[in-house]
Structure 1
Amino acid sequence: MFYSPIVPQGGRPLTAMPRSFGIAVQRPQPGWLIVDLGADLFSPRWWCGLLTLFALTASAALLAPGLEPLPGGRPAPLEPVQLEQWQALAIAPLSEGSDTGLEMLETKAVRPLLSVPRRTSLSLFATLGASEGIARLLLRSGAAAGDAAETARLIAGAGRAIAPGTSVAIILGEAGASGRRVQQVSLRAGLDLKLTVQRGGGGLALVRTAIPIDTAPLRIRGRVGGGLYWSLRSAGASPEVAAAYLQALATAVEVGSEVAADDRFDLVLANRRAASGESIAGPLLYAGLERNSGAAVQLLRWPVGGRLGWVDAANAGRPAPSSAGLQWPVQGRITSGFGRRVHPILRFARMHRGIDFGAGWGAPIVAAADGQVVRAGWAGGYGRQVRIAHGDGLLTSYSHMSRIIVDAGGAVRAGQLIGYVGSSGLSTGPHLHYETIRNGVAVDPLSVRFASVRPVDAGEMQAIRTRLKALLGA
């Protein structure tokens, strides 16, 4: 029978649906070696798949190559010539053996020298040693013996001793059989004099050059802040000047309790300054303190009774109070103050009952005031110690000494030598541990006045005022 297709209006003819439409596609069955171990657990097919997995794993382990290190070897060491060339190309610190800047291999631009040219002159600087003279310095610098001796003779004729450590500028000429000829030698024979030995038509001659010196005193001012001593050091005062200022100031005020942070220190010291810039500080001339509460301190160094002492320029003619006429026991700077601190050896906090002076081994120690020695010997952690009673319950103690030269029971005068600085007992280095004890209680040595301020005659008042105005620039 013939069926004509039905054609919808305006469309294509309809076709018959295939018979396979709507029937699920059948997946192919896996082979016997492919087993899903997640299905049909413990069935014969499952056990077969598990055994097959074990067999394949064992075969892979047996047939796999061994895990051995890859074959290799150490590079052959470089020959010395090769190493030198590599170092020339490398950039590394000299401390690690680098040797940069070497010449590379020769090129046609390199022309060998038939002989090494000799230097016609040699300029150098040398420092005069502690046990040598000018002649020996020139000899070790390469000068001829005759020129060295003649130069030393000319410099000695200047009448100035050349201090060890002086820098000497030397110019030497061509080398001869006995050394190089001296062309010029220059050095400073002092702050105000330069000596030059130079060769002229008639041989070596000495030339003196005077250097202008400015002797204007140096003034240092500043705020006390957290500590007077360290504020002085920060303002530019040397340890010796700072110690001298504290020693002078202690004649008028209790440094440990009467000096406030907002007070301002004022000191003037002698100073010599050369036109070339060098300077040498001299002794302290004036010690002042501007106080917010209390009278200002103006202490002037002035000769009284044939000796230099401190006079109260603000209240001249009236003696300032003084405790016992004490003075500084050693020339040195204060390295540790009075109060609680961490002990440098025991490493725990404890009371520091005195002050420490940093001084060299063997520096002289003097009695701070008149008195009687009550102890002179070993005192445990204090090492060699001297204690002096000054009356009215006041004692001074000097510890860590290297040598004691007084005996217990003997009388001493202020400024008398009693021993030498050392490091005996519990000590980290040479220094003086100094204590002041009043009625059995340790007090800050800086609070004890070190010397009495001397009264002056009324006739000297005008001279004192004139000197004070000159120092302060008023």
Structure 2
Amino acid sequence: MLARHDGPMGRGAAGVPHALVARAPSGFGARRPGVTGKQGWRDIDMTVDLAQDFFSRRWWRGLFTLSALTVATALLAPGFAPLPGGRPAMVGEAEETQFVAAGVGSLAEGSDSGIAMAPNAAVEPLTSAPERPTLDLFARIAPGDNLARLLTRLGASYGDAGRAQSLVPGAIAPGTSISITLGRKNGDVRPVERIAFRAGLDSELVIRATPSGLQVQRLGIAVDATPLRIRGRVGDGMYWSLRAAGVTPQTAEEYLKALSGQIDVGSQISPDDRFDLVVANRRAATGENEAGSLLYAGIDRAGSTALQLVKWTVAGQTRWFEASGVGQQTSGMIWPVNAPITSGFGERFHPILHFVRMHRGIDFGAHWGTPIVAAADGQVERAGWSGGYGEQVRLAHAGGIETSYSHMSRIVVGPGSPVRQGQLIGYSGSSGLSTGPHLHYEVMRGGQAINPMGVRFINRSILEGPALAAFQARLKALLSVGRG
């Protein structure tokens, strides 16, 4: 094709209309003399027909271009070596049977590649799948769920689900695994044939279908209740050494708390000391294990006396007693409220009565509703309104010590109830003869008020006679437990 520019109504050099003529940009060839810019176009011969103008300058240029393209193609083309070939391995009879059964074959033979199983001499297609005679299922009880709802969701009838639920004594613990067998389908539901689950560490509950309906049977499992003894070296950290030895976090915390009642765990224990624990434990014959509470807490201290503590109950209160029979002691009282002291013990000018009188306790500037706790172990002597003291709680402690907590807004303990040190007994307020919310705290010895700032209260129990003999027998039995 030739590209020319002969004006808007002209024709190309070969008589081709402008609609079929291509214009080349100015970079393709030389410009017309004296023409620049957008008018700098020149007629360029874009193609060469070797069948015309033989041996002309234009013809030789086309021949040279054709030859150059042919040589370049020959140089850049890949080799002409024959493609590798070979005879594929023959498929044996066994492989061919397997391929046919699995539906692997050519489309020409009518094979659908990828189906589960194709018809062959040993397999025949079924028009419909047969119903499974029984279903063996495993489920787990979720929080808030029960056996009846679980069975109906799995396809059991409402009658069987309700009957099975009525045979279970109490609620099934969340997370319990249940084995369920459902029988042949009858309509849209299946009958319950068997249900089995663990009812506890020592028993399994089995519900079976009988001619007279569902019946329950409890199967006993042997349980070894021998306590578990754990020993080890303290090392770099007591807590993590206990955890590495297999002690649970709760038991490790209880053990450290028991020791802290007798020694300073932070400064009186060295890395070479050895801890010794006895924990209540139940192990079923099927392998399940159930850890209990801490029974014995001991520590063998290098260069110091060993400490042996046993949990023992006296007068309804369980405490830790050391090997000699002396109970865990509480040294000193704690502040009953988390607030600053605003008025001390002694004579002062009363802000309401406007005269000097004896201030029998100390005042804490506690905001309204601040929790108030017992300063030491004791028993509630009085709890209620007490004239100018307002709402008051009065506690009796060992050694003839009494404490009182006045001007409270609310009381949460009753007369005669035992309390432990740090136990909540009420909330601060401004009841009675008071100018604002605060706690008036008093300490009495033998009925006489004493300065709470100078009180050091020691409370401990000592076992004697038959109680001491029973305690020492218990200690001996715990120390005879083998190492776990």
Q: What TM-score bracket applies, with the shorter chain setting the length?
A: 0.5 to 0.7
CA–CA distance in structure 2, aligned partners of residues 104 and 153 of structure 1: 46
Match of 1:412, as an amino acid? V
Give 1:219 shift.
1.1
Partner of 1:214 in structure 2? Answer: 224
Do residues 457 (structure 1) and 470 (structure 2) align? no
Q: Secondary structure at the match of 2:337?
A: strand
Partner of 2:185 in structure 1? Answer: 175
Match of 1:374, as an amino acid? A
CA–CA distance in structure 1, aligned partners of residues 328 and 214 of structure 2: 62
Structure ID, larger Rg: 2
Partner of 1:396 in structure 2? Answer: none
Using a 3 Å threshold, how does the CA distance of structure 1 residues 279 and 407 change in structure 2: closer, same or farther?
farther
Using a 3 Å threshold, how does the CA distance of structure 1 residues 170 and 233 change in structure 2: closer, same or farther?
same
CA–CA distance in structure 1, aligned partners of residues 258 and 177 of structure 2: 37
Give 1:268 shift.
0.9
Report if the CA contact (8 A) 1:312-1:455 is conserved: no
Deviations 1:373-404 (A, max 9, x none): 128xxxxxxxxxxxxxxxxxxxxxxxxxxxxx
CA–CA distance in structure 1, aligned partners of residues 367 and 476 of structure 2: 45
CA–CA distance in structure 1, aligned partners of residues 153 and 295 of structure 2: 44
Deviations 1:308-334 (A, max 9, x none): 011111x324x6775557xxxxxxxxx
CA RMSD of aligned residues (A): 3.8
Partner of 2:474 in structure 1? Answer: 467
Do residues 120 (structure 1) and 94 (structure 2) align? no
Deviations 1:326-356 (A, max 9, x none): xxxxxxxxxxxxxxxxxxxxxxxxxxxxxxx
Report if the CA contact (8 A) 1:263-1:289 is conserved: yes
Report if the CA contact (8 A) 1:161-1:189 is conserved: no
Q: Secondary structure at the match of 2:152?
A: helix
Partner of 1:143 in structure 2? Answer: 156
CA–CA distance in structure 1, aligned partners of residues 332 and 77 of structure 2: 90
CA–CA distance in structure 1, aligned partners of residues 269 and 237 of structure 2: 9
Q: Compare relative contact order (CA 8 Å, sep 6+) and give the higher one, 1 or 2.
A: 1
Partner of 2:30 in structure 1? Answer: none
Q: Secondary structure at the match of 2:339?
A: strand
CA–CA distance in structure 2, aligned partners of residues 466 and 172 of structure 1: 55
Report if the CA contact (8 A) 1:311-1:454 is conserved: no
Match of 1:458, as an amino acid? E
Partner of 1:111 in structure 2? Answer: 124
Give 1:408 shift.
7.8
Do residues 265 (structure 1) and 275 (structure 2) align? yes
Q: Secondary structure at the match of 1:373?
A: coil
Give 1:284 shift.
0.9
Do residues 132 (structure 1) and 145 (structure 2) align? yes
Using a 3 Å threshold, how does the CA distance of structure 1 residues 70 and 321 change in structure 2: closer, same or farther?
farther
Using a 3 Å threshold, how does the CA distance of structure 1 residues 132 and 452 change in structure 2: closer, same or farther?
farther
Using a 3 Å threshold, how does the CA distance of structure 1 residues 137 and 271 change in structure 2: closer, same or farther?
same
Report if the CA contact (8 A) 1:144-1:181 is conserved: yes
Query: Which 5+ residue runs of structure 1 have no aligned equivalent?
Result: 1-58, 72-87, 90-99, 326-368, 376-404, 419-450
Which residues of 2 match residues 21-420 of structure 1 at below 5 A?
A: 65=72, 103=116, 109-155=122-168, 159-313=169-323, 315-317=324-326, 323-324=331-332, 370-374=335-339, 411-413=372-374, 414-416=421-423
Report if the CA contact (8 A) 2:279-2:293 is conserved: yes
Report if the CA contact (8 A) 1:373-1:407 is conserved: no
Aligned length: 283
Match of 1:214, as an amino acid? D
Report if the CA contact (8 A) 2:371-2:424 is conserved: no
Q: Structure 1-normalised TM-score?
A: 0.53
CA–CA distance in structure 1, aligned partners of residues 252 and 175 of structure 2: 26
Report if the CA contact (8 A) 1:268-1:287 is conserved: yes
Report if the CA contact (8 A) 2:329-2:461 is conserved: no
Give 1:275 shift.
2.3
Using a 3 Å threshold, how does the CA distance of structure 1 residues 258 and 184 change in structure 2: closer, same or farther?
same
Q: Secondary structure at the match of 1:302?
A: strand
Give 1:278 shift.
1.6
Deviations 1:247-271 (A, max 9, x none): 1111122111211111111111212
Give 1:296 shift.
0.3
